[in-house]
Structure 1
């Protein structure tokens, strides 16, 4: 795994202008300060403007492509306790999604330290969960994931670390969420993946807040901690935003 940051909202406007309405979103690379920045790209018809929302809906965006709200694709994998977990197990819950691997030497420890902070912000909330998908399922067996959970402060019964068919996991990451994941022998740790978190509402829809221009940020940076505040590029942490937005969705 190379030391790369992944900012989903950087370059969204560029991508919207570049790709047509019927073009299937794909991962594109940009070189910035000697780092490869993976932009999780979007369709032209992504919903950029918040609308007045009925009832108890918050001000968070639904992410839309070609007028269709993006929903978590169906999945079914095995968690650290040996249980089969699917997207149906998260019905009625607000949850956060990430892709990681236990032997990751760079961004994963930062991501999961931040995820533990998020977990601890909602200690008694039964309707909040976390879904962590291993991108090295050949290494990350349920037993390995259980040991990882025990040594990293993962205590929530609704935090499932999942392993399973590698092709299905990569399809979920790259096609289901457009969160870049790939094997890369030249990368530190042998794999490269997004450091972003996806926020999902109780009905399985991907949600996010707006940036200063009113556009959805799409995903939340999972690498920079609240304590760090900013990274070396000046990017501000988004963990505080994510906590606030989880609380909003729990009230919907």
Structure 2
């Protein structure tokens, strides 16, 4: 090896040594002071920002195969004849129900309870309700409009939606696993769950957890706060209102 080559290697080693002395301590200080954030390699979703800022509440996510369950995509016509999709609810906390206007049993109770919930959040522009009819052949936008008026619905984010029967049933039974179906022997010709689903601002299904740490997933919608309990069923509207409040703060 020539003397010239030896000098070159010595020079490179000297530069590396100087770099280590000057810059490595600064890099370590930046890491300690959290100037370099790990989130640079993560997707900057709203959910990520919530988790990093510590604003996520104690509300549970519904997880299926390790993935947080989101509301499926949907697009229907509301009581004003406008097309409403799941994207219209992004940025809002909202409650989901499946009902029909001629229901002679649980639907009137559910609607009155949701109006009560609506009235608790009058000043919140980012709260809404999604009501899907399971009898779209009868429940036209005009019928839904009249129904909403009769029950005192005033929230502009409360949409009563109708569309293709197959799409609505798929959304209920597969999208939310809230049962809905035709039954000639049932009062009104249909049967369905009286449960409500609660959705956060990012479109995730949320709920509180039970005493074993498992998400409750749904809220019973047929017993009012005034009734407290009926046929052994305790009211969960108070619980729903409390949990909506938590999600609005996220």
What TM-score, normalized to structure 1? Answer: 0.78
Give CA-to-partner distance per residue, 1:166-216, whole Å, 9 cap, x none: 000000000000001110000011000010000000000000001222221
5+ residue gaps, structure 2: 1-50
Match of 1:237 among 235, 238, 247: 235
* Corresponding position of 2:38: none
**Offset of 1:79 from its aligned partner?**
0.3
Per the alignment, do residues 126 and 213 of structure 1 end up closer, same or farther by CA in structure 2, a change over 3 Å counting? same
Looking at structure 1, the residues matched to 130 and 235 of structure 2 have their Cα atoms a distance apart, in angstroms, of: 21
Structure 2 residue matching 1:182: 3-state secondary structure? strand
Alignment of 1:70-109 (within 5 A): 70-109=69-108
Looking at structure 2, the residues matched to 232 and 132 of structure 1 have their Cα atoms a distance apart, in angstroms, of: 26
Looking at structure 1, the residues matched to 104 and 144 of structure 2 have their Cα atoms a distance apart, in angstroms, of: 16
* Corresponding position of 2:246: 248
Looking at structure 2, the residues matched to 170 and 53 of structure 1 have their Cα atoms a distance apart, in angstroms, of: 38
Of 212-221 and 112-121, more deviation after overlay is shown by 212-221
More helix per residue: 1 or 2? Answer: 2
Deviating runs (4+, > 6 A) in structure 1? none
What TM-score, normalized to structure 2? Answer: 0.78
**Offset of 1:85 from its aligned partner?**
0.3
Alignment of 1:1-252 (within 5 A): 55-233=54-232, 235-252=233-250
Give CA-to-partner distance per residue, 1:39-73, whole Å, 9 cap, x none: xxxxxxxxxxxxx9961000010000110111000
Give CA-to-partner distance per residue, 1:19-54, whole Å, 9 cap, x none: xxxxxxxxxxxxxxxxxxxxxxxxxxxxxxxxx996
Structure 2 residue matching 1:189: 3-state secondary structure? helix
Per the alignment, do residues 210 and 141 of structure 1 end up closer, same or farther by CA in structure 2, a change over 3 Å counting? same
5+ residue gaps, structure 1: 1-51
Query: How large is the RMSD of aligned CA atoms in angstroms?
Result: 1.2
In the alignment of these two chains, the number of paired residues is: 200
**Offset of 1:154 from its aligned partner?**
0.8
